[in-house]
Amino acid sequence: MDSQQIKKELMRRGFDFSMIAEVLGKSPSLVSKVASRKARSQAVAVALAKAIEREIEEVFPDIEAYHHKPITPEQRKQKQRELVALLKG
């Protein structure tokens, strides 16, 4: 979906970019930029997809990075430990 399609679908459901931004604690500009592919934020992309009740792959089929679940903070720490071990070895 392009930015205008996302915006139209949000409006149909009574939402807009500024509402998404406020709920996420992000700027409306970031939400708009994510929708138009001028910035990347998995959290914003997921929120947009959820708000229009679509799968992330349908809303952002062109951004492979969004198609995978984000890692948890604990998984990130584990990966960092692995990287430290690799780089020291």
**Over the stretch 19-76, which tens digit does the pLDDT of each residue have?**
999 999 999 999 999 999 999 999 999 999 999 999 999 999 999 999 988 788 999 9
- Tell me how many domains the chain contains: 1
Alpha-carbon separation of residue 70 from 8, 43, 51, 75, 81 (angstroms) = 27, 9, 18, 10, 18
Reported as a pLDDT band with limits 50, 70 and 90, residue 8 is very high
- What is the extent of the structural domain holding 34? 3-88
Reported as a pLDDT band with limits 50, 70 and 90, residue 7 is very high
Higher pLDDT, 11 or 71: 11
| Amino acid in position 73 | P
Confirm if 56 and 66 have CB atoms less than 8 A apart.
Answer: yes
Q: CATH no. for residue 56?
A: 1.10.260
Confirm if 23 and 36 have CB atoms less than 8 A apart.
Answer: no
Confirm if 11 and 19 have CB atoms less than 8 A apart.
Answer: no
pTM comes to: 0.80
| Position 89 pLDDT exceeds 80 | no
Tokens of 85: 């071990």
Query: Angle 75-61-66 (CA atoms, 0-180°, nearest 5)?
Result: 15
